[in-house]
Amino acid sequence: MRRSKPLPLVLMMSELFALLTSGATPLTQDARGTSRNKITPDDIAGCLIHADRHCYLYGLRKFCLDQSTETELNALARQAALSYGFTCRDNEPADGVSRLAVLALKFSVMGSRCGGCSGTGNIASKNKVDTCDRCEGSGNAKLSVRRLANVIGTGRWRAQKVWMPRFQLLLSDYQIMDDALNTMIHRGLRDE
């Protein structure tokens, strides 16, 4: 088995994942897939075989755009949210926790580009580059309290004080999952 060199620092993981679309340009010689000079969804799936089921399905959905995982992944997301003991008040929909879980999953998988920095996380000033204040350098727009209140079916005050911290907690779980998946994929593509 031939060991390839590690990916250069210039090629960040987010850039690598951007190349996973069909019709992507050929990759550098440092990261190889089974297809000639391209990384395929099968290559990504092969990198994730040691992940737990939730993490594996999340990786397939996020990095391979596999729609077939949606039903099981939504069920696992609901189960994870319920494990925190989140509850709804009598005046809120009974499935509010499930709605929150699916929203957090979709927001984590798809995200949305920040309007302040156009998704880069940085804003260029005259002679320096500053971190974007809107997204705090993530490049993703934040979920508005209004949208969260509409999805859950509750008032804005309750959405901001109760549901937004819950949403952030679920997103932090997905961020941990993202970091683990990035490591697995990086190692898997490097250790062909």
Residue with tokens 């990384």: 39
Task: Tell me which of 5-9, 61-65, 126-130 is least confident.
Answer: 5-9
In which band, very low, low, confident or very high, does the pLDDT at 11 lie, cut at 50, 70 and 90? very low
Residue with the bigger pLDDT between 38 and 134: it is 134
Residue with the bigger pLDDT between 60 and 37: it is 60
What count of Cα atoms within 13 Å lies in the side-chain half-sphere of residue 172?
6
Over the chain, what is the mean pLDDT? 79
Q: What is the pLDDT of residue 2?
A: 41
162 dihedral zone (left: phi>0; alpha: psi -120 to 50; beta): alpha
Structure confidence by residue, pLDDT tens digits, 96-126: 999 999 999 998 888 777 877 877 788 887 7
SS (H, E, C) the chain: CCCCCCCCCCCCHHHHHHCCCCCCCCCCCCCCCCECCECCHHHHHHHCCCCCHHHHHHHHHHHCCCHHHHHHHHHHHHHHHHCCCCCCCCCCCCCHHHHHHHHHHHHHHHCCECCCCCCCCEEECCCCEEECCCCCCCCECCCCHHHHHHHHCCCHHHHHHHHHHHHHHHHHHHHHHHHHHHHHHHHHHHCC
Q: What is the pLDDT of residue 37?
A: 62
Q: What is the pLDDT of residue 33?
A: 52
Regarding pTM above 0.75, the answer is: no
Mean pLDDT to the nearest integer, 134-147: 83
Terminus-to-terminus CA distance in the chain, angstroms?
7
In which band, very low, low, confident or very high, does the pLDDT at 136 lie, cut at 50, 70 and 90? confident
Most confident of 62-71, 86-95, 122-131, 155-164: 155-164
Q: What is the pLDDT of residue 79?
A: 93
Q: What is the pLDDT of residue 36?
A: 56
